[in-house]
Amino acid sequence: MPATDPDGTNTIYLDDFRATGNIRAIVQRAFIDNLEPGDQVMIYVEDTSDPTNYKELGPVPINDVDVPFTLDYKGFFEDLFGTYEEATEFKIWTEVVRGTDTFPSPELFFWAYLYPSGGVYPELPGDVNPAFALPVVTGASNTPNDLQPGDRDKPGKIEVTLKITEQPLSSTETATFYVAGKYVGEVTPFSDTIKFSYDITAAVMAALPTPSTLAYWTRQKTGIDKNITKSSPETVLVSGKKIDLLAPTIRIRNPLKVQMDCYAMNNAATDWKVAIGVPKDAVNLPQGTVITMNIAAYSDEAGTNLIPGTPDSQPYTILAPGVPDVVGVGSAAIFKLAQPRRGAVAWIKYWYTANIGGVQTSIPIIKKLDTITSSSEYCDRTPVPLT
């Protein structure tokens, strides 16, 4: 009788093999009468719906003690029932062998359900199917498996797109998602699907450990917490929580206009750049911190229509306390590209980034760009084309 269930009341699942590596059938000596020296015992397992589908073990000697038979998944139950997609009844019995005579025991009946959701795979009875598609975790930045500081206080998502070789997730199955070893949520589709996801709450995103964590998903028959199969774990990079960096500044000639004009530029006649100041921040930007200052020009005030060729980025190392930090960014070519002719209207966006437990970004600032003087010259005194 199987040691997992001597009374045959429970179905045998993959879980029984995962827990112990195998199950055992024990021939109990106390229930066998009239044994003689030299007697041996065999055990049979047979599909009740197909007498040609059976396995036997033995014969082995039986004396005065119980005889255990190990019933492995590999080479035994896998061969018998591994590809059956539904629960299957089987019977098991023993035979005492004495020369050419055999003496069978009564038959016992059990059920086996060994088919994992998603189909069989070579690593069974292990619970990880390496062929499963890996999950993708994203935050507000929408960078796959790479959560940015700005993602940590907002909801995210975990999503799986099955490979073409995988069976679609059906309405009788449930996919469950885990991040950092914790349950996130589960999905049971209304119909077959190859893409499914679940939203991750902002609270869970905020609690994720840095610098990385693991995500995986499982697949199972809905309502049966057995034969659950996992994907391999996927590494998710997790940056530190968002830091509110102080906004960069530019020189403003006329507070009523608040625009980036020639007054904000540095040495326009020789090396035309905009001079952008970085406020001192001893906590987040101590001396020696490397930042990157960025600018880009747009044809609309909302900063959505980028003018090609205008983005520029320059690295800068924060100086000692008391020494102003001013970064020169851009070039004559960039500013002229933003306003290529008289009457051209453009806006400039500027911000900086710093790697502080992940890439932190200051809030981008957008101001109107005006590098054309009243005499129709650029800041570097060259004439502005009429058309």
Where do we find the tokens 């610098």? 211
Where do we find the tokens 């590098």? 371
Residue 288 region, left (φ>0) first, then alpha (ψ -120 to 50), else beta? left
Residues 6+ positions from 218 with CB-CB distance below 8 Å: 175, 176, 178, 228, 229, 230, 231
Given a contact cutoff of 8 angstroms between Cβ atoms, the answer to whether 252 and 260 are in contact is: no
Give the pLDDT score at 104: 92
Task: State how far the Cα of 275 lies from the Cα of 273, in Å rounded to an integer.
Answer: 6
Give the pLDDT score at 264: 95
Evaluate the CA torsion angle 71, 73, 76, 78 in order and state its sign.
positive
pLDDT greater than 80 at residue 292: yes
List the Cα angle 365/368/369 in 5-degree steps: 110
pLDDT greater than 50 at residue 222: yes
Give the pLDDT score at 2: 47
Q: 126: closest CA among 116, 134, 136, 140?
A: 116
pLDDT greater than 50 at residue 170: yes
CATH 2.60.40.10 at 136-238, yes or no: yes
pLDDT greater than 90 at residue 111: yes
Task: State how far the Cα of 95 lies from the Cα of 107, in Å rounded to an integer.
Answer: 10
Give the pLDDT score at 8: 58
Over range 18-27, report the average pLDDT: 85
Give the pLDDT score at 387: 83
Percent of the chain surpassing pLDDT 90: 84
CATH, domain range 12-113:
2.60.40
Give the pLDDT score at 96: 92
At residue 7 the predicted structure's pLDDT band, cuts being 50, 70 and 90, is low
At residue 269 the predicted structure's pLDDT band, cuts being 50, 70 and 90, is confident
Percent of the chain surpassing pLDDT 70: 98
Give the pLDDT score at 94: 93
Question: 260-370: what CATH class?
Answer: mainly beta
Evaluate the CA torsion angle 218, 219, 222, 225 in order and state its sign.
negative
| DSSP secondary structure of 160-217 | EE--TTSPPBPTTEEEEEEETTEEEEEE--SS-BSEEEEEEPHHHHHH--SSEEEEEE
Q: Print burial letters for 99-136: b (CB count within 10 Å at least 16), e (below 16).
A: eeeeeebeebebbbbbbbbbeeeeebbeeebeebbbbb
Tallying the residues shown for the chain, one arrives at: 387
Over range 224-231, report the average pLDDT: 96
pLDDT greater than 60 at residue 4: no
Task: State how far the Cα of 361 lies from the Cα of 375, in Å rounded to an integer.
Answer: 38
pLDDT greater than 50 at residue 97: yes
pLDDT greater than 60 at residue 5: no
Give the pLDDT score at 163: 96
pLDDT greater than 60 at residue 41: yes
Q: pTM value?
A: 0.72
Give the pLDDT score at 64: 81
Over range 295-319, report the average pLDDT: 97
Domain(s) labelled CATH 2.60.40.10 in the chain stretch across: 136-238
Helix (H) or strand (E) holding 89: strand 88-98
Q: Which tops the pLDDT comparison, 58 or 236?
A: 236
Given a contact cutoff of 8 angstroms between Cβ atoms, the answer to whether 284 and 245 are in contact is: yes
